[in-house]
Amino acid sequence: MSHKEGLQREIAASIETLERRLVSSADAREKRAIAAALIVLSGEQLRLRHADLLATLQSLAVARDELEKAVGAARVGPFDGYLCALEHHLASFDRVSGRLHAKLALPKASWRGAGVTRRAAARRTLERHAAAAVFPIVSTNYTDLRKEYARCYAKCTARPECRATVDYYVRRLRAGQNSYELVQAALGVPWAVVGVIHAMECGFNFSCHLHNGDPLAARTTHVPKGRPSAEEPPFTWLQSAVDALQLRGLNEVTDWSVPHLLFLLEAYNGFGYRRHGVPTPYLWSFSNLYSQGKFTQDGKFDAAAVSRQCGAALMLKEVLKA
CATH 3.40.190 fits 3-104, yes or no: no
Residue 205 near residue 269 (C-beta atoms within 8 A): no
pLDDT of residue 37: 92
Residue 83 CB burial class (10 angstroms; 0-12, 13-18, ≥19): middle
> What whole-number percentage of the chain has pLDDT above 70?
91
Over the stretch 161-191, which tens digit does the pLDDT of each residue have? 888 888 888 988 998 999 999 999 999 999 9
Residue 75 CB burial class (10 angstroms; 0-12, 13-18, ≥19): exposed
pLDDT of residue 133: 47
pLDDT of residue 105: 72
Residue 263 and residue 272: Cα distance in Å, rounded?
Answer: 13
Q: Whole-prediction pTM value?
A: 0.74
C-beta neighbour count of 179 within 10 angstroms = 16
Burial per residue of 281-308, b for 16 or more beta-carbon CB atoms within 10 angstroms, e otherwise = bbbbbbbebbeebbbeeeeebeeeeebb
Looking at residue 251, the DSSP 8-state letter turns out to be G
**CA-based nearest residue to 267, from 197, 183, 184:** 197
Annotated domain spans of the chain: 3-104, 119-320
First to last CA, the chain: 40
**CA-based nearest residue to 3, from 105, 107, 98:** 98
Tell how strand 300-302 and strand 294-297 pair up.
antiparallel
pLDDT of residue 134: 57
Residues in the chain with pLDDT values less than 70: 1, 102, 111-134, 322
Over the stretch 255-273, which tens digit does the pLDDT of each residue have? 999 999 999 999 988 999 9
Residue 210 and residue 40: Cα distance in Å, rounded?
Answer: 32
Contacts of 147 (CB under 8 A, 6+ apart): 259
pLDDT of residue 125: 47
Strand ranges, E, within the chain: 294-297, 300-302
Over the stretch 112-150, which tens digit does the pLDDT of each residue have? 643 444 444 445 444 444 444 457 999 999 999 999 999
C-beta neighbour count of 6 within 10 angstroms = 18
pLDDT of residue 112: 61
Residue 239 near residue 231 (C-beta atoms within 8 A): yes
Q: What share of the chain is helix, strand, coil (3-state, %, to 5)?
A: 60, 5, 35
In terms of phi and psi (left: phi > 0; alpha: psi -120 to 50; beta: otherwise), the region of 190 is beta
Residue 218 near residue 110 (C-beta atoms within 8 A): no
